[in-house]
Amino acid sequence: MVTPPSVPDPTVPDDIVELEVGAIAAGGGCVARGPDGRVIFVRHSLPGERVRARITSETTSFLRADAIEILEPSADRVAPLCPHAGPGRCGGCDFQHVALPAQRKLKEDLIAEQLTRVGGVDLRVVVEDVGGAPEGLAWRTRVSFAVDREGLVGFRRHRSHDIEPVTTCPIATDGVNAADVSSVNWTGARQLEVLASPDGGPPVVLVETGKQRLDGLPDIEVGLVWKGRTLRAPDHVTFDVLGNRFDVRAGVFWQVHPRAAAVLTTAVLDGLAPKSGERVADLYAGAGLFTVALARAVGPTGVVTAVERSGPAIADLKRNTSSLAHVEVLRADVSPGVVARRLGRPDLVVLDPARAGAGRDVLTALCALDPAPRRIAYVSCEPAPFARDLKQLLAAGWTLESLRAFDLFPMTEHVELVGILARPQR
């Protein structure tokens, strides 16, 4: 009689398993196979390592785990520079345990995998170091803090509502840490967003309370904004980008790395090569970072139409472009109707959407413009949606002229992409 092979018991949360770790995956972990054959995404690990890992959660198709003991470490492993990094601690940084050059290599692997799997494009790009973040630290000019029911401040632990108490964040700039928000009680608040200019000046704190009221004003030297109202000045910070001044109100999107705005603006201008008198559409324009640079490039005989839906961002956009009479500001969602009927016939288009990407309907409307724009610059912080949208543009006959990647988020898996596409030849 033949004895059937034994089937391992299913791996479940809180189990501790020994794993051989494979390639990096989106989400900051690496891929492994559990004893029962299921895929496990292992945080705090590196490709090629052998680890002991605690299963933290499961879905119908995969498990998540934290590496709690490194049995065979990678040569790229380093001691985390942040005391809050590690299993069960702050969920903000994915790569504190990874040497900086290896972090960029992992991001290159992620981009290549997403371009191939999602976009059908066989391409590998170099993730460029932009400087301004010594040892990968002190670069975040905007940081969101969680607040517990007792008014204490910290960061959410990974995939948890629990808070890791934090007094200083190593990846935040000195200006953000100088706000010292953890030194006072914030009873009634649910979240704080601290914004600080790398050029100095007092930081600004945006307070979110939900339906609750803020229990008094904390005694720290910061600007305070609550429910769109300025409780204490200032309510905005100032950034200088390539000689242009930008005022950005708390809560309005702005690139967090101190060198990001200049690096991305230069990449967009170099890729698009705008000419005097051209018409440009800046979609998802925010506070006007690209709008201002493009308006100066096309000059007063050109036109830049800036589309943005957020009221506070529109206010900043209008203020930042007030001296540029050839900028048209349009408050609207970036929709197929807006693309088809409100942009005129743009020679150039900038797409800088949120993480979810521009999406099929907007791109379909963009591809239907006649004549087609000369070039599109697509700026993205998420490789997967970028790859999906790129696939659609390539299928419509557009050509990817260049793709650059910038390490604007050290210690995390995130990366910024700038793709330049040329119109179909008809």
> At 215, which CATH number?
2.40.50.1070
CATH of the domain at 12: 2.40.50.140
**Structure pTM?**
0.95
Instruction: Report if residue 43 sits inside a domain.
Output: yes
**pLDDT at 5 (0 to 100):** 59
Domain annotation covers residue 322: yes
What's the confidence (pLDDT) of residue 376?
98
Distance CA 225, CA 229 (A): 6
Boundary (domain end) residue, out of 49, 77, 105: 77
In this structure, the answer to whether residues 316 and 371 fall within a common structural domain is yes
Residue 117 lies in a domain: no
Domain count, the chain: 3
Establish if 246 belongs to a structural domain. no
Share of the chain above pLDDT 90, in %: 91
User: Among 171, 204, 235, which residue terminates a domain?
Assistant: 235
pLDDT score of 191 more than 90: yes
Please check whether residue 251 lies inside any domain of the structure. Answer: no
189, 229: one domain: yes
CA distances to 71, 151, 390 from 378, rounded to whole Å, are 42, 41, 9
User: Are residues 45 and 190 both part of a single domain?
Assistant: no
Give the up-direction half-sphere exposure of residue 11: CA atoms within 13 A in the CB hemisphere.
26
- Is 295 in the same domain as 405? yes
Per DSSP, what are the bridge partners of residue 422?
375, 399
The residue to which tokens 């429910």 are assigned: 227
Residue 2: pLDDT above 60? Answer: no
Active site residue 381: yes
311 and 172 both lie in a single domain: no
Structural domain span for residue 205? 140-235
The answer on pLDDT for 215 being more than 90 is no
Please, which pLDDT band fits residue 212 given cuts at 50, 70 and 90? confident
What secondary structure letter does DSSP report for 24? B
Cα→Cα distances 40→46, 179, 300, 317, 322, Å: 13, 39, 56, 45, 53
First and final C-alpha spacing in the chain: 72
Q: What is the CATH number of the domain that holds 301?
A: 3.40.50.150
Residue 83 falls inside a structural domain: no
Q: Check pLDDT > 90 for residue 213.
A: no
- DSSP for 313-331 reads HHHHHHHHTTT-TTEEEEE
Q: pLDDT confidence of 423, banded at 50, 70, 90?
A: very high
Q: What is the pLDDT of residues 226-278, one digit of tens each?
A: 988 999 999 999 999 999 999 999 999 999 999 999 999 999 999 999 999 99
